[in-house]
Amino acid sequence: MHESNAVKRPEGRAIDALYRISTLSGKSLNSVRALEEILDEVMQVFSANSASISLLNENSDTLLIEVQRGLPDKSRGFQLPVGVGITGWVAAHGQPLLCPDVSREEKYFQLDERVRAEMAAPLTEGGRTVGALNVDSCTVGSFDEEDLRLLVLIANEASRVLENMWMIQQLRKKADQLQSLVLLSQDISGTRKFDEVLNTICREGLLLLGCRLSAFFLYDEKSDLLHLQCLQDTQGPRDYQEQLKPGDSLLGSALRGHRQVQTRDLLRTEEHHFIDLIRSESLQSMLVTPVIFEDVPIGIITHYIDRPHRFHDDERMIARALADLGAIAIENARLYGRVFASEESMRKSERLTTLGTLAAEIAHEIRNPLMVVRLLFDSLRLEGVEDENKSKDLSVIREKLNHLEQIAGRILEFGKSRESFRKAVKLREILEDAAVLVRLKLEQSRINLSWDKLSGDELVFVDKGQIQQVLLNLMLNAVEVMPDGGDLSIGTELKDGRANIYVKDQGGGIPENLRDRIFESFLTGRKDGTGLGLTISKRIMRAHDGDLELVESGNGGTTFCISLPLTA
């Protein structure tokens, strides 16, 4: 028998086949096409009637026929449990097996009634068995030990080729995933809207992990509830309402344990979320990843697949990367919202301060002529008027003059009430807090802030909020004059018992015809400006025994100086 095989299959043909198989790794082939070419070589070397390559499906512990030659059509995609049949035994034990007569082999599993002889060799990757190469003949005794030895050589070479191809595919996939993560980080870093951040994270999770559904739950610590914020499938966002206690689900285990949790059988798991959705969509596998920022749980990301699937290390790593990016983006969005709220609050405070200042000025101006009117009225000595109606009118006029004087007095007293808010504050704290308040605004505007980080404990006796208002007004003005970004610097000088704070931008400068009048009320060079910011700021500084001055302005930028007395 062996001699006839040698006639049919010269040694040179086997060597040529090994060589051709070895060159496949250098070709631009997908894995299925490579498997098909390997089978074609095997069919020629052994003059086989049929052959197949089966690969292990780790999620279902079965062997799936990936490619075949000569087998019935029903064999395509056939799944064989590991350990069943000659192919299953080889995959389970990682050893080759020869069966010259299948009718005498208990391990044989019939897929094609024409097969009389069969042999199989394991396919390996990284030292573990991942499948089997199977060869069949319609003639009893067609294969011997020498054939099996040659099949093992071919299977080993095929394993090496496939391992290289799979490695290249994995590297390409990881490169694509890494590029997607980089682009995602750039995308969401510039996204300040909370809902857009969540939608982007869920959408990218679907693409990177190949999932059926992706969801984002936010955790509310006060109510101890997980609220569904975003649910997406491959078609886009879906409208769905869900909230649950963390302790009622695997989701809570991931949240409280700060660890990933997965399951391969949602239908048998006692889950209390998406109950109807899991059944209607036939969802079977789930990966839960906690979203944590500085050890504080923000929420969780969940990914669902409609088949049994074990999420491997790379997939879990991608999910963790999404969660980390999501945590940073969500925190940035929240901070950005708070900054805008603070800025709006400060703008409102500025408007109120302006109204108070203007009211005080008006009250002061009114009180003087009002006093003249009152004195002139009293000098007329009209108390003895006999006409009763005129007497009543005069009484009303006197009462209203008194009322107007009281109103003016109250307004003027209210304008002085801010002095009660003054206290000794570290100059360093004022600068640090102001830098924090505008940090995100400056980042968004691509402006670099550099400032003297004072190490001493120099004190100033001030209303901290008003001094910060002055600083913020100058810094926000600098943002407006640098639309393309630039550098903003804050320098300090301690001299002769005073603290001088210099704020310098790189804008185009103040028009020369406005420089001498910039502290006048309602004077502005911007269409959307009120012309009150510098006016109010200068009044605030003078009320603190300090001053606000323009040091210089030109094409290279503008520098203002805030001056305050130090407190011993």
Give residue limits of the domains in the chain. 2-171, 186-337, 345-419, 423-565
Q: How far is CA 536 from CA 270, 356, 379, 562, in A?
A: 64, 11, 41, 13
d(CA 522, CA 325): 45
Distance CA 524, CA 518 (A): 8
Neighbouring C-alpha atoms within 13 Å toward the C-beta of 193: 4
**Among 108-117, 473-482, 534-543, which stretch is predicted with the lowest mean pLDDT?**
534-543
- Half-sphere exposure (CA, 13 Å, Cβ side) for 388? 0
Instruction: Give the model confidence (pLDDT) of 531-549 as tens digits.
Output: 567 887 888 899 889 999 9
CATH number of 345-419: 1.10.287
Looking at residues 54-82, what average pLDDT do you find? 83
CB count, 10 Å around CB of 531? 14
Output the pLDDT for position 400.
66
- pLDDT attached to residue 368: 64
Which fold does the domain 2-171 belong to in CATH? Beta-Lactamase (3.30.450)
Specify the pLDDT at position 213.
92
* pLDDT surpassing 60 at residue 370: yes
Q: So what's the pLDDT on residue 231? A: 92
Same fold, 2-171 and 186-337: yes
Which pLDDT does position 367 carry in this prediction?
Answer: 67
Which of 31-40, 180-189, 315-324, 359-368 has the least mean pLDDT?
180-189
* Predicted local confidence at residue 287, as pLDDT: 93
Tokens 């059944």, residue located: 279
Fold of 423-565: Heat Shock Protein 90 (3.30.565)
Contact 251, 343 (CB under 8 A): no
What is the CATH code for 186-337?
Answer: 3.30.450.40
Cα separation, 339 vs 292, whole angstroms? 22
